[in-house]
Each structure stands twice: as structure tokens, then as C-alpha cells.
Amino acid sequence: MFCSVHCRNSANGKKAGGHNRNRVAKTCEACGENFEVPECRKDTARACSRKCLGALHSSERAGRWHMGESNPGWKGGIQTYRQHRKDACERCGSTRFLVVHHKDENRYNNVLENLETLCKRCHQLHHDCVANLPN
């Protein structure tokens, strides 16, 4: 039994530092600073820190992501039915805390016949969220 991992490794003939013995110098692709990595990471390490790696990834992704209708995955989005939201709840007539409810409960089915304007209370009642309603 040993008092620490260091003592155990010393007794077994291992050098301190383990796999970090052989380090290789690299240059950060983001900031240009020199840094060292274990030899096993010499081909994959690209940045000296997480901050630099994040900046590197951001610059590589620039221009790839599109917002709104220019995004290939766009299916009308939330604005489609917000534009058709009525001024009052279709069940109780309240004009406060209005949301758009999907009648078939499929959030991706944004055809106008499937949309209904509800106040927060009627929406919670519809989904049996009575515990969340104020008295």
C-alpha cells in the first residue's frame, strides 16, 4: 500500500508525469502563440486554449448558418402564426397573455386551420396544467 499515486509510480519504476513526458511544441492557429501538447495530440491540437479554439470554430462556421427563410430547414417558423394571432382569446375573449395553440398539438403543422389564439389560462386548461394556474 502506498501513500499516493506518485509514490506507487515511483516504486513501480514509472517516471513522474506519465504520458506527458514527451511534449511537442505547436503554434496556435487562432492567436499565433506557441504552446505544448502531449505527443499523442501533435496532429490534432490546433489551439492553445478553449477560448482560441472557440474563436477558430466561429471563424470557420462564419457564413454557413442562415437565419429565417434563407435557412434550408425553414418551415415557416413562429412568425408564420404570430402574424395571424387574433386580438382576443377565441374561447373566453380575454385580451391578455395571448398565445397561439396548435389544435392537433403538432408544433410543425402551421396551417391556419390548425391554429387557435388562446389566452394563457385557456391554454393551460386545455393541456390540463391546472396546478400552474393562479387562484
Percentage of the chain exceeding pLDDT 70: 75
* Strands 98-102 and 115-119, bridge-based pairing: antiparallel
- pLDDT digits 0-9 by tens, 4-44: 887 887 787 766 555 546 899 999 999 999 999 998 899 99
Longest CA–CA span in the chain (Å) reads 81
* Mean pLDDT (whole number) for 125-131: 78
- Where do the structural domains in the chain lie, given as residue ranges? 21-60, 77-132
pLDDT at 47: 94
- What nine digits make up the cell of 92? 373566453
Q: How many residues belong to the chain?
A: 135
Q: Concatenate the DSSP letters of all residues of the chain into one string.
A: --SSHHHHHHHTTPPTTGGGSSEEEEE-TTT--EEEEEGGGTTT---SSHHHHHHHHHHHHTTT---GGGSTT-SSHHHHHHTT--SS-TTT---SSEEEEETTS-TT---GGGEEEEEHHHHHHHTT-GGGS--
pLDDT at 96: 92
The answer on pLDDT for 93 being more than 90 is yes
